[in-house]
Amino acid sequence: MKLSPRDFVLLAIFLLVTVGGGLWIGVSNPPGEWYQALAKPGFTPPNWLFPIAWTVLYVFIAVAGWLVYRKGPAAGVMLWLVQLGLNFAWSPTFFGAHRIEAGFAIILALLAAILVFVAVAFRRNRAASILFLPYAVWVAYAAALNGSIALLN
């Protein structure tokens, strides 16, 4: 597969929107003292892990979006946009508005969108589908964490 200069520009745009948007959302909605004061389950990871995991995942998300934009399936682009919107909505809801239950609803919808993306993209764009698998695992883990925090608080 030969890549054109336009392909590289599009990839850069996907990376900028996804990684940059995720970074901006994270910096704008830090966990802060409110989150530190919450009761958390024993499987809560250390805080330093989140930015590392999300940076890697946002790169995977961006590349998967670029791949479905270039090669389809067409439904994959819409699903990619839906999951990104849900992803970007979670931090302002959970950390910014302190709405644990609403955050849980969003993350469950996000997980569903990710899984549907994986299924839809698998036949036509296996690479994009596979790039979403670590994301699905991480979001499933984050959903369990969010749900546990809701129960404990």
CATH number for position 141: 1.20.1260.100
pLDDT one-digit tens code per residue, 67-96: 999 998 889 999 999 999 999 999 999 999
- 100: its two tokens: 């644990």
Residue 142 pLDDT exceeds 70: yes
Q: Are 10 and 65 in contact (CB under 8 A)?
A: no
Q: Which domain holds residue 119?
A: 5-152
3-state secondary structure of 146: helix
CA-derived radius of gyration, the chain: 16
Whole-model pTM?
0.95
Inform me whether the pLDDT recorded for 1 exceeds 80: no
- Report the C-alpha dihedral over residues 115, 120, 122, 126, rounded to 10 degrees: -100
pLDDT-derived band at 3, boundaries 50, 70, 90: confident
> 97 falls in which pLDDT band (50, 70, 90)?
very high
How many structural domains comprise the chain? 1
Asked whether the beta carbons of 31 and 133 are under 8 A apart, the reply is no
